[in-house]
Amino acid sequence: MNDAHILPNWLAHRAAVLPNQPALLADGARWTFAALDRWVSDMARNLLMRVAPQDRVALLLRNRPEFVALAHAAPRAGITLVPLNTRLSAPELAWQIADSGARLLFYAADTAALAEAAIAVVPSIPLAQADDQPQLLRRDFNRRQLVAVEIARLDDTRVPNAALRTTIDLAEPYTIIYTSGTTGQPKGALLTYGNYWWSAVGSALNLGSHADDRWLAVLPLFHVGGMSILMRAAIYGIPAVLHSAFDPAAVNRAIDEDGVTIISVVSTMLQRMLEERGDRPYPAALRCVLLGGVPAPQPLLEACAARGVPVVQTYGLTETASQVATLAPADALRKLGSAGQPLLPTALRIASAGIGEVGEILVRGPTVMRGYINRPDQTAQALRDGWLYTGDLGELDTDGYLYIRDRKKDMVLVSGFNVYPREVEEVLCLHPAVLEAAVIGIGDEQRGALIKAFVALRPGADATAETLDAHCRLNLAPYKVPRVYVFLDRLPKTTVGKTDKKQLN
Amino acid sequence: MNDAHILPNWLAHRAAVLPNQPALLADGARWTFAALDRWVSDMARNLLMRVAPQDRVALLLRNRPEFVALAHAAPRAGITLVPLNTRLSAPELAWQIADSGARLLFYAADTAALAEAAIAVVPSIPLAQADDQPQLLRRDFNRRQLVAVEIARLDDTRVPNAALRTTIDLAEPYTIIYTSGTTGQPKGALLTYGNYWWSAVGSALNLGSHADDRWLAVLPLFHVGGMSILMRAAIYGIPAVLHSAFDPAAVNRAIDEDGVTIISVVSTMLQRMLEERGDRPYPAALRCVLLGGVPAPQPLLEACAARGVPVVQTYGLTETASQVATLAPADALRKLGSAGQPLLPTALRIASAGIGEVGEILVRGPTVMRGYINRPDQTAQALRDGWLYTGDLGELDTDGYLYIRDRKKDMVLVSGFNVYPREVEEVLCLHPAVLEAAVIGIGDEQRGALIKAFVALRPGADATAETLDAHCRLNLAPYKVPRVYVFLDRLPKTTVGKTDKKQLN
């Protein structure tokens, strides 16, 4: 009877119990759970015409209803999704596509050029060697079989009547989401259905679950923060309200007119919403503003408190299917700068540190990922004795409230996106004129932070900020591109000869 | 990383996150989560002075705060609870105590006489032979070590500082609750922490979970319906409002004055509540009346609909840690007599029957018990291919709504309690004057049903209804005792010689 990991397909369950309840609102269109359920089954059969169960399917899609249908089609077809960040450069995307071993890539008209550019680069990416990995984490198929399909070309009318899965095995892989580290290439974090399920349950037990809830999905669906909203909506039986891009006026309108009760945003979004809103109060029905990317700026929190905006700050990770800890609105100012306490299924501790001491944040529980695909060493380093070593530094106060002191050592959070200086530095060093480079984050009122680069050129070489900017734009997602350049003869060094970033600011 | 079954202790989690939130209201007293947490730790240390982890501890207690403290102390001490039905007779209790292998029995002043009478009988109970059972289901210790302790004698001031468990392993056994079958002795259903956890999660995803919820526990805590309320309250972080016995006026008052938003009742209780209430409407804050023991009488449902009482009918079992399926208030009259649709973590099907055909109800999912202790044959019969064979008969309509057609073939539901005719018949046949006996349920407006007995006496023997009534009262819980006797020369038989109950009414 040890089948506690086999559940009925949750979207199908909701379609059976609440067939006429809205499931998805997007761009003026709406799907009930019954309608979404039918579309998803067609989509799953469509998938099975092109790939086999266990295959990986990459999505290069902005927020759009087809993303939602594909997200729910995956468990019925038995495939694993690889949602790609549409803001990445073609070389970055090519690397992730190749690493994931995806056999099929979906794109849309607005990502077609990017998809084409990425696909052209894929064959030049060397494959990682990782034969000692368990099967779920291993890429063991030929990336030359990659097929790209524009989502609008899918024809639902000719799908065969293939058998679909009716249950969801929580232990099975669901998504591979790439996350950059302080060193080397991005790593594909493998999340299971169970990771998302437990994350959704933990959030419901923390924030409550109301029959009239509607959750706004304006975060990108390729990000774990967006994807997890889709899962919660289906598991709770509530509508997801999908926005294709962040527009503060549209979000404010959705709160007024579409009955949105919960939104997930990062600080810069919330700031712009408040500015757009002016003096008009938010309706009481807006019961939770889940704010990622802690710590949030104090003036923003004070503005929200003054206007009665119920901000729930949260600390989350790709590797934990989003939320790990949250801070309730009542504590927002009392515990200023805190990420609150862990959600029920999750345990949290600070490695080798007492109360009030800073150490690495460790997380344990059923939301923790299976591992990084093709990266046995980094998986073994991240997952030890049942704990996830997050790389983030934090401390706990005497009440057990978490304070994040440094995210992944020198990670910079730009508009809610992680930027790892090392990655930018490596791209800068690829330019023939650059001898060495160091990158830091500097405060920015609107985006939280900006990237600032310190560069030493090779003797006799010639390069301007404009040259390097063009080089970076070709190789990096726009939010990773440095906005400020400082040219030095040489970078300051520590006594052991490493670049001394403490001297750079 | 396969530790999806290890969670932080959920009461401790709530005490950390919501220390000042009320956790328990009982008899005018109240405990916050922090206060309950402290009491529970003392109780767990108290337990470890008397028993060892893995031991089984029987409770012969009516609803009282100590029961709540013991229920939460169990996971910290690592013991398994055996909640006993305080309405059973001493011989019935002795059998269950012996079968469970409990080493410690808690009783209170109001159950002391019953406990004493039961303990006196324990040594005469033969032990079942069940050496081929897995360890968790096997009784492998000596019942002669049974110690009985009056709960008032526990001294919290002298407990040693024993180490307590801080996590809950969902795979571990939590309670053994006895349930009678159509044949033979009652069976001890072993439920794990996971069974209760998933039941609580499934209920929250179905009924929603509000920060201001308060759940009234007036069902006996020794019953899975009462016990599961305690688990939900701790897991959701809401107060349980505990009543020591059912008093319709007290329940109505708790709804008005204690902010109760959800109550779990059976039909007869709800009927009496409405009668006591008269014309006074219920407050809108009462958002759910979870009604067990389907199907409910139509006049009762109509009265509730007319008065806006939000009745959620439910079909549940001891073997599934309570709720399996529920019917939303909106469907109460549209799907009259239905138990609704299964909760999300649960799958349900009708054995070898199409839509609209009656068959045995099968249930699958993480709420299904581990098995019956000491009963390998009955466990194997109940759990087959991952499905629980409930013994109940039902059918599904085209919308997937469940209709219960017969509970456990000829089980009779008296005031929400299961009575198995076979058990009563066996007691009647123990009387020297009785040759054969057959028992059925007959409708009763107040209790749902009453027990009616048909008896054939031995030639020349002499016994009256009064004689047999006295005999039954000695050996059976009061609700199982026949209220009507019919004396026949011989009982009607089928062509194969079995008693033909269809001719009895």
Residue by residue, what is the 3-state secondary structure of B157-201? HHCCCCCCCCEEECCCEEEEEEECCCCCCCEEEEEEHHHHHHHHH
Of B13, B205, B346, the CB nearest to A235: B205
Q: Do B1 and A371 touch (CB under 8 A)?
A: yes
User: What residues in A contact B237, CB-CB < 8 Å?
Assistant: 205
Q: Do A341 and B17 touch (CB under 8 A)?
A: yes
pLDDT at B137: 62
Strands B417-419 and B412-414 turn out to be antiparallel
Q: Is the pLDDT of residue A466 over 70?
A: yes
Q: Do A236 and B16 touch (CB under 8 A)?
A: no
Residue of B201, B364, B368 to mutate when probing chain A, most A C-beta within 10 A: B201
Indicate the pTM of the whole model.
Answer: 0.86
Q: What is the largest CA-CA distance in chain B?
A: 73
Q: How far is A189 from chain B (nearest CA, A)?
A: 14
- The highest-confidence range among A134-148, A178-192, B259-273, by mean pLDDT, is B259-273
pLDDT higher for B158 or B264? B264
Of A7, A13, A347, the CB nearest to B8: A347
Domain A412-503: which topology? GMP Synthetase; Chain A, domain 3 (3.30.300)
**Model confidence pLDDT, tens digit, residues B401-421:** 999 887 666 678 888 888 888
Where, residue-wise, is CATH 3.30.300.30 in chain A?
412-503
Q: Is the pLDDT of residue A461 over 60?
A: yes
Of B208, B345, B365, the CB nearest to A211: B208
Of B1, B204, B344, the CB nearest to A13: B344
User: What residues in B contact A211, CB-CB < 8 Å?
Assistant: 208
Q: How far is B23 from chain A (nearest CA, A)?
A: 15
For range A482-487, the mean pLDDT: 95
Helix axes A10-17, A224-236, angle to 10 degrees: 40
Where, residue-wise, is CATH 3.40.50.12780 in chain B?
30-192
Residue of A165, A206, A235, A344 to mutate when probing chain B, most B C-beta within 10 A: A344
User: What residues in A contact B5, CB-CB < 8 Å?
Assistant: 4, 366
pLDDT at A183: 59
Residue of B17, B314, B346, B349 to mutate when probing chain A, most A C-beta within 10 A: B17
Going by C-alpha positions, the residue among A2, A349, A309, A289 that lies closest to residue A171 is A2
* Residue A442 bridge partners (DSSP): A450
User: What residues in B contact A1, CB-CB < 8 Å?
Assistant: 368-371, 383, 386
Q: Is the pLDDT of residue B136 over 70?
A: no
Q: Do B237 and A364 touch (CB under 8 A)?
A: no
CB B154 within 8 A of CB B43: yes
Q: Do A344 and B198 touch (CB under 8 A)?
A: no
Cα dihedral B423, B425, B428, B434, rounded to 10, equals: -150
Q: Do A344 and B5 touch (CB under 8 A)?
A: no
Of B4, B208, B209, the CB nearest to A198: B4
pLDDT at A141: 45
pLDDT at A463: 92
Q: Do B208 and A210 touch (CB under 8 A)?
A: yes
ipTM for the whole complex: 0.84
Half-sphere exposure of A171 (CA within 13 A, CB side): 11
Give backbone dihedrals phi and psi of A20, rounded to 5 degrees, phi first: -100, 0
pLDDT at B407: 63
The region of weakest confidence among A200-209, A297-306, A377-386, A490-499 is A490-499
| Residue with the two structure tokens 């009895």 | B504
pLDDT at B409: 60
User: What residues in A contact B16, CB-CB < 8 Å?
Assistant: 341, 399-400
User: What residues in A contact B325, CB-CB < 8 Å?
Assistant: none
Residue of A5, A10, A13, A397 to mutate when probing chain B, most B C-beta within 10 A: A13
Q: Is the pLDDT of residue B128 over 70?
A: no
Going by C-alpha positions, the residue among B102, B36, B49 that lies closest to residue B77 is B49
Q: How far apart are CA B410 and CA A398, in angstroms?
A: 59
Q: How far apart are CA B62 and CA B137, in angstroms?
A: 26
Cα dihedral A23, A25, A29, A35, rounded to 10, equals: -10
Choices 2.60.120.380, 3.30.9.10, 3.40.50.12780, 1.25.40.10: CATH for A6-15+25-193:
3.40.50.12780
Percentage of chain B beyond pLDDT 70 is 92
pLDDT at B502: 76
Residues of A with CB under 8 A from a CB of B: 1-8, 10, 13, 16-17, 167, 170-171, 194, 198, 201, 204-205, 208-211, 235-237, 341-342, 344-347, 364-366, 368-371, 383, 386, 399-400
Give the CATH superfamily of B30-192: ANL, N-terminal domain (3.40.50.12780)
Q: How far apart are CA B294 and CA B285, in angstroms?
A: 25
**Model confidence pLDDT, tens digit, residues A217-238:** 999 999 999 999 999 999 999 9
Q: Do A344 and B208 touch (CB under 8 A)?
A: no
Cα dihedral B492, B496, B502, B504, rounded to 10, equals: 20
Q: Do A7 and B383 touch (CB under 8 A)?
A: no
Beta-carbon contacts of residue B190 (< 8 Å; ≥ 6 apart)? B80, B136, B137, B173, B175, B176, B369, B370, B371, B372, B373
For range A120-132, the mean pLDDT: 72
**Model confidence pLDDT, tens digit, residues A82-117:** 999 999 999 999 999 999 999 999 999 999 999 999
**Model confidence pLDDT, tens digit, residues B183-231:** 568 899 999 999 999 999 999 999 999 999 999 999 999 999 999 999 9
Q: How far is B126 from chain A (nearest CA, A)?
A: 29
Q: Which residues of A399-433 are buried (b: 16+ CB within 10 A; e: fewer)?
A: ebbbbbeebbebbbbbbbbbbbbbbbbbbbeebeb
At B483 the three-state DSSP class reads coil
Q: How far is A8 from chain B (nearest CA, A)?
A: 6
Q: What is the mean pLDDT of chain B?
A: 90
For range A420-427, the mean pLDDT: 84
Beta-carbon contacts of residue A460 (< 8 Å; ≥ 6 apart)? none
Q: Do B7 and A365 touch (CB under 8 A)?
A: yes
Q: How far apart are CA B181 and CA B422, in angstroms?
A: 8
Residue of B344, B348, B384, B387 to mutate when probing chain A, most A C-beta within 10 A: B344
User: What residues in A contact B370, CB-CB < 8 Å?
Assistant: 1
**Model confidence pLDDT, tens digit, residues B318-377:** 999 999 999 988 888 888 889 999 999 999 999 976 777 888 999 999 999 999 999 999
Strands A338-342 and B22-26 turn out to be unpaired
pLDDT band of residue A134 (cuts 50, 70, 90) is low
At B24 the three-state DSSP class reads strand
At A324 the three-state DSSP class reads strand
pLDDT band of residue B497 (cuts 50, 70, 90) is low
Q: Is the pLDDT of residue B140 over 60?
A: no
pLDDT band of residue A1 (cuts 50, 70, 90) is very low
User: What residues in B contact A6, CB-CB < 8 Å?
Assistant: 364-365, 386
Of A10, A210, A400, the CB nearest to B344: A10
pLDDT band of residue B141 (cuts 50, 70, 90) is very low
Strands A147-150 and A104-107 turn out to be parallel
Residue of A nearest to B5 (CA): A366
pLDDT at A233: 98
Residue of A201, A261, A370 to mutate when probing chain B, most B C-beta within 10 A: A201
> H/E/C letters for each residue in A274-293?
HHHHCCCCCCCCCCEEEEEC
Give backbone dihedrals phi and psi of B432, rounded to 5 degrees, phi first: -60, -25
pLDDT at A129: 56
Q: Do A342 and B8 touch (CB under 8 A)?
A: yes
Q: How far apart are CA B381 and CA B398, in angstroms?
A: 29
**Model confidence pLDDT, tens digit, residues A342-372:** 999 999 999 976 777 888 999 999 999 999 9
**Model confidence pLDDT, tens digit, residues A424-445:** 888 898 899 998 899 998 888 8
Supply the Cα-derived Rg of chain A in whole angstroms: 23
pLDDT band of residue B1 (cuts 50, 70, 90) is very low
Going by C-alpha positions, the residue among A431, A234, A252, A229 that lies closest to residue A314 is A229
Helix axes A267-277, A248-257, angle to 10 degrees: 70
**Model confidence pLDDT, tens digit, residues B49-60:** 999 999 999 999
User: What residues in B contact A171, CB-CB < 8 Å?
Assistant: 2
pLDDT band of residue A374 (cuts 50, 70, 90) is very high
Where, residue-wise, is CATH 3.40.50.12780 in chain A?
6-15+25-193
At A217 the three-state DSSP class reads strand
pLDDT at B483: 95
Query: Cα angle vertex A10, ends A8, A14, to 5°?
Result: 115
pLDDT band of residue B130 (cuts 50, 70, 90) is low
Q: How far apart are CA B414 and CA B439, in angstroms?
A: 13
* Helices of type H across A319-464: 376-382, 421-429
For range B96-120, the mean pLDDT: 95
User: What residues in B contact A342, CB-CB < 8 Å?
Assistant: 8, 13
pLDDT at B366: 96
Strands B173-179 and B187-192 turn out to be antiparallel
According to DSSP, residue A89 is labeled -
Residue of A2, A6, A7, A215 to mutate when probing chain B, most B C-beta within 10 A: A7
Q: How far is B360 from chain A (nearest CA, A)?
A: 19
pLDDT band of residue B161 (cuts 50, 70, 90) is confident
pLDDT band of residue A408 (cuts 50, 70, 90) is low
Of B211, B365, B368, the CB nearest to A208: B211
**Model confidence pLDDT, tens digit, residues B166-195:** 999 999 999 999 987 655 688 999 999 999
Q: What is the DSSP string of B328-393?
A: -GGGTTTTTTEEEEE-TT-EEEETT--TT--EEEEEESTTS--EETT-HHHHHHHEETTEEEEEEE
Q: Do B235 and A344 touch (CB under 8 A)?
A: yes
Q: Do B6 and A204 touch (CB under 8 A)?
A: no
Q: Do A201 and B198 touch (CB under 8 A)?
A: no
